[in-house]
Structure 1
Amino acid sequence: FPSYGSFISTLNHKRESGSHSLSSPLLLPAVKQVRELPPICPDVRQKHRISIDVLPPEVKARFVSEPIIPIRTKTAKEFQDDVERATISGDWKQVLDFYLTTFDSFLELNGAFKKEANAPFNTIEDSGINIKFVNIVYDALLHTPADTQKSVLKGIINSLLREWKGPRTKDDLRAYFVLVQNPQYTSPATYVIYAHLLRQIASLAEADHHFLMHWFKKLPQKRFKQLVERLQLFITTRLFPAKPDELPPMAKCSWWIPSATKVLSLLNAANSISSPPIIPFTDLYNLTLDHIDFMEDYHTWQAHGNSNRFTFCQFPFILSTVVKKAIIQRDSEQQMISMARQTLVDKVSRRQRVDMSLLFLNIKVRRLQLVSDSLDELSRKRADLKKKLKVTFVGEAGLDMGGLTKEWFLLLIRQIFHTDYGMFTYVKESQCHWFSSWKCDNYSEFRLVGAVSFHFPAVYTV
């Protein structure tokens, strides 16, 4: 056998020779007599093509068909006749069967109340629902036996518990549109069902909310107002339940009020885009909120904005004028205190003598030039507008403890709104003042009115 040293030297020699061969250019032998492959004949393709018709059933792809809305032929008149016969005879079986079938699913709701079962009705102008028939069915429901009313609620539960996959269809929106009008939701015993319905409506996509908003707009005024009142009652009862044991603990249903308020915002939007409004905007106020800690709600809203954390301040239409006025007044006072404190700190940090007058917005006015002096003073002291106001009348001795400020405000408003002054005119029909029609080249006096009313709400309400 060769020695280990000779084996290593032989291996190194082969490596060197291999490296030289790799560094040299690679020469390929000339290829001769290369035959081109014949093209694939169309007949060959056709022979190897497998038709889907000959595949076994288990191999074929399954296509999910669209749900078919059942055809229901009962009219509103026929239903009314059934209810009348049941009232006389006491046999409610036929009416019960109608309610059991109708509220069994979203498809059945569409089958019963949709004007044409196979028509798309995919516009905001027409929901495709026979509103008159819906109202007749709901009005009769409240006068049916208890088992019939319970069967409707059970059907709604089954519909809401159904597992949804993918976006909602317009038929689903129509079902929500019908279900939310159910008058049974005035009773706290139905609030758990009502809350889940509101939650599903509130969680719909923005485009779906757009459709519902326009469909709500088409409701008769009476039905629209009833819908608003039920939502307001739901919010009020959840905040201050008469019998707390009737409802789940607040910790387990904290989503109830946000869901109801979001649905109420759809009605507010529908009311806002209607001309004239369907109901007065004051009907959307929830006066119960006057008794909650609305300043805490306001501070939470300031800290988190319109984030996922719910506050009533996100929906100002529900807050009464009393609450809004109090929030503006207290916020203004807090800003005044903050501005005064900051001025004091700045003086102390610069080792300057502290003048207590710096804590206030001091204005000096002459009675004969009240408007012009007030305008000049407020224009020069814009940085101090959020401080507490103190007024001094030139040439008059007196310390403003609130009385001079009130007098200044009343005199200023009286002069500005006087007809001879020309800024505003009084409209007898509405009993309100409106901007004068004469052309104005200087709007500084109008800015003065805005500054006074906005920056001094406490004075403005005197």
Structure 2
Amino acid sequence: MIDCTSTFESSSSSPITKARIRLTEPSTSLSNTTLMADTTSAPLSLADGEMAYDNELRYPQAVWRFRCPVCDTINDLKPRLRSQKTQSPISLRQLKRIVYECRLKEKAKKVKGTVDEKERERLYEPVERLVDVLFGSWICLNQSFGNGKETTLQDSGVAMEDVRDAYSILLNLPVNVIRAMMTATDRLLKRPCVPLSRPSDIKFFLMILENPLLTQHNFPAETKYHHSLLKRVFGMLSCLDNTCHQALVNWFAKSNTTQLSTLVNLVQAFVSHRITRARRSKLEMPAAYESDWKIASAARVMALLFRANHKSKNLALCEFYNTMVDYIHLMGDYGSWQSRSG
């Protein structure tokens, strides 16, 4: 059982209401999840919602946003796009043009003398500002890099090759551009500002998952930061509705062998990291990992990739086996869990 305090905000002029939420373990029935107000006000009309770790939340109907007390993501129940910076959708061609202009300035500076790293970062500030808006705004990123088609269950409407080319360009720019991209992505994942209820709402996830940096784990701080981003992606993807999940399966199925393998390995690395942490935990197995919503969320995303592969037949089944499972007594833990759950 997890007891914590979450902040709710109403669309009315009333002050912020503090409420205590009792969250059940992920493996228990969702119907046991309750909300208890700390105030002594009259009973409120309640609505149901879902959070990243698959626990249902009951909240007053007047509430228009809440902060998930486990993953700390702000969930907007009504679109709140005015808080995001206004920017038209970006195409690969536009990005190349701005980068080209910055490179011309850099070449001109080099003709006059050497350009140190600080000066180089300053020259690429236009790109830095662009990626800060692009990756930090749902309305901008979700509509960028379009392929000219409408978003359907069969087609995402995203030109994925353009997205990959864009990352290739950005990762060869000064560190301030890369830092701005990652910081903006983190900001977006902490608060998308819209309810993610339709396939057309979730295109930005495809673009974020293509970020090559998410597969890099050169030192502990980098691993921690990248896994922090991934846990939010997997958490939100895992609790989308069936229509969005079906769309994701169809979109993933269009990936070639290399692209699908990269996604599978990304999830595998995340799960391996979480299992390794669980094995080092002071808690005994299976308690160390059975209540880890991050593993459960990643497993659901892996299930989507597995279904996609069933359609495309790109990867061998062994690609979906995580060798870290060999280091835990899975069947014994399952029996223990089954006996406790009756």
Q: Which amino acid aligns with 1:149?
A: I
Q: Hey, what does 2:177 align to over in structure 1? A: 148
**TM-score normalised according to structure 1 size:** 0.44
Report how many aligned residue pairs link the two structures: 234
Q: Which amino acid aligns with 2:125?
A: K
Question: Is contact 2:98–2:126 with CA below 8 Å preserved after alignment?
Answer: no
Counterparts in 2 of 1:102 and 1:253: CA distance versus 1, 3 Å? farther
| TM-fit CA distance, 1:95 | 2.6
Matches of residues 108-119 of structure 1 in structure 2 within 5 Å?
Answer: 108-116=140-148
Question: Is contact 2:152–2:200 with CA below 8 Å preserved after alignment?
Answer: no
Matches of residues 142-291 of structure 1 in structure 2 within 5 Å?
Answer: 142-162=171-191, 166-186=195-215, 187=217, 188=223, 189-241=225-277, 254-274=292-312, 277-291=313-327
SS in 2 for 1:113: coil
Question: Is contact 2:153–2:247 with CA below 8 Å preserved after alignment?
Answer: yes
Long gaps (5+) in structure 2:
1-78, 111-119, 218-222, 282-287
**Is 1:101–2:133 an aligned residue pair?**
yes
Q: Hey, what does 1:72 align to over in structure 2? A: 90
Mapped partners of 1:279, 1:151: distance in 2? 35
Q: Deviations over 1:350-399 (max 9, x none)?
A: xxxxxxxxxxxxxxxxxxxxxxxxxxxxxxxxxxxxxxxxxxxxxxxxxx
Counterparts in 2 of 1:144 and 1:255: CA distance versus 1, 3 Å? farther
Q: Which amino acid aligns with 2:132?
A: L
| TM-fit CA distance, 1:131 | 0.7
Question: Is contact 2:92–2:145 with CA below 8 Å preserved after alignment?
Answer: no
Mapped partners of 2:209, 2:256: distance in 1? 15
Q: Which amino acid aligns with 2:152?
A: T
SS in 2 for 1:158: helix
Question: Is contact 1:102–1:108 with CA below 8 Å preserved after alignment?
Answer: yes
Mapped partners of 1:85, 1:218: distance in 2? 38
Counterparts in 2 of 1:225 and 1:65: CA distance versus 1, 3 Å? closer
Q: Deviations over 1:6-64 (max 9, x none)?
A: xxxxxxxxxxxxxxxxxxxxxxxxxxxxxxxxxxxxxxxxxxxxxxxxxxxxxxxxxx9
The RMSD of aligned alpha carbons is 3.7
Counterparts in 2 of 1:65 and 1:255: CA distance versus 1, 3 Å? closer
Question: Is contact 2:136–2:187 with CA below 8 Å preserved after alignment?
Answer: yes
Identity among equivalent positions (%) equals 23
Q: Hey, what does 2:285 align to over in structure 1? A: none
Mapped partners of 2:290, 2:105: distance in 1? 42
Matches of residues 336-375 of structure 1 in structure 2 within 5 Å?
Answer: none
Most deviating of 250-259 and 192-201: 250-259
| TM-fit CA distance, 1:266 | 0.7
Mapped partners of 2:105, 2:337: distance in 1? 54
Q: Which amino acid aligns with 2:307?
A: A
Q: Hey, which of these two has a bigger chunk of helix by percent?
A: 1
Question: Is contact 1:103–1:156 with CA below 8 Å preserved after alignment?
Answer: yes
Mapped partners of 1:253, 1:152: distance in 2? 32
| TM-fit CA distance, 1:170 | 3.0
Mapped partners of 2:302, 2:130: distance in 1? 30
**TM-score normalised according to structure 2 size:** 0.58
Q: Which amino acid aligns with 1:130?
A: A
| TM-fit CA distance, 1:161 | 2.5
| TM-fit CA distance, 1:207 | 1.1
SS in 1 for 2:144: helix
Q: Deviations over 1:147-195 (max 9, x none)?
A: 3222222212222222656552333210112112222222313211211
SS in 2 for 1:112: coil
Question: Is contact 1:106–1:171 with CA below 8 Å preserved after alignment?
Answer: no
Counterparts in 2 of 1:107 and 1:289: CA distance versus 1, 3 Å? same
Q: Hey, what does 1:134 align to over in structure 2? A: 163
| TM-fit CA distance, 1:253 | 8.2
Question: Is contact 1:82–1:94 with CA below 8 Å preserved after alignment?
Answer: no
Mapped partners of 1:225, 1:69: distance in 2? 33
Mapped partners of 2:81, 2:183: distance in 1? 26
Counterparts in 2 of 1:85 and 1:257: CA distance versus 1, 3 Å? farther
Q: Hey, what does 1:437 align to over in structure 2? A: none
Counterparts in 2 of 1:239 and 1:144: CA distance versus 1, 3 Å? farther
Question: Is contact 1:107–1:171 with CA below 8 Å preserved after alignment?
Answer: no
Q: Which amino acid aligns with 1:267?
A: L
1:123 pairs with 147, 152, 158, which one? 152
Q: Which amino acid aligns with 1:257?
A: I
Question: Is contact 1:82–1:95 with CA below 8 Å preserved after alignment?
Answer: no
Q: Deviations over 1:77-129 (max 9, x none)?
A: 5467468658866332233233212102111113321234xx6x232221100
Q: Which amino acid aligns with 1:176?
A: F
SS in 1 for 2:299: helix
Look at both structures and tell me which one has the larger radius of gyration over its CA atoms: 1
Question: Is contact 1:114–1:128 with CA below 8 Å preserved after alignment?
Answer: yes
Mapped partners of 1:132, 1:217: distance in 2? 15
SS in 2 for 1:273: helix
Q: Hey, what does 2:29 align to over in structure 1? A: none
SS in 2 for 1:143: coil
Matches of residues 363-442 of structure 1 in structure 2 within 5 Å?
Answer: none
Q: Which amino acid aligns with 1:123?
A: T
Q: Deviations over 1:406-428 (max 9, x none)?
A: xxxxxxxxxxxxxxxxxxxxxxx
Counterparts in 2 of 1:115 and 1:267: CA distance versus 1, 3 Å? same
